[in-house]
Amino acid sequence: MEERACMIAEAGYEVISRYGIRRATMNDIAQAAGVSRQTVYNIFPNREELLHGVIRYHFWHKWNEISEAVDQVENREERIAILLDRLVVRSWESMQAMPHADELELEIDTTMRERIADIHQEAATNLCEFFSPYERQLSSRGMTAKGIGEMLHLAFVGMKLSSTSQAQLETVVGTMKACLLAVTE
């Protein structure tokens, strides 16, 4: 994404987080981005394109944050903890803080499912790459980095959407961390 599109997508995420998907307007997003409404439409011709851009930007930003954090750490346990915290726990907390998060989930599920398939594929690929340094350990257990990455992606999506409390999410994340440490040891 070009710089102006990123700026608008970031503003879109903030506005949607504050008002909800159905109450966020292109005017609100333009104002938050510090651009004209026409500029928003020039980059994102309609609401669906804008939502796709917001989701893509949010995923890209989240993954860069994870990559930068794990690049600073050699310890396998810390790397996995960072991954789980940033990709699952913080994402879940972010969704819980949004008013009308259920509307966003419904909007994404009904109108954007096919549009965001590329983002889901990229997420699974990034997770596969994250676990590729542990390919030897995984192989000795009959697993692959690709299999672990794809399984985790599907699990993370489900956890963020179906966890009903912080305590439940933390229990599942703790169990997942223990499992990942065991299979990559």
- In tens, the pLDDT along 91-150 reads 888 878 887 767 766 666 666 677 778 888 888 899 999 999 999 999 999 999 999 999
* pLDDT on residue 176: 93
CA separation (Å) from 102 to 52, 88, 97, 108, 137?
17, 17, 11, 10, 40
Tell me which of 143 and 51 has the higher pLDDT: 143
Tokens of 118: 């590329």
Domain 3-183 in CATH 1.10.357.10? The answer is yes
Which residues touch 59 (CB under 8 Å, ≥6 apart)? Answer: 119, 122, 123
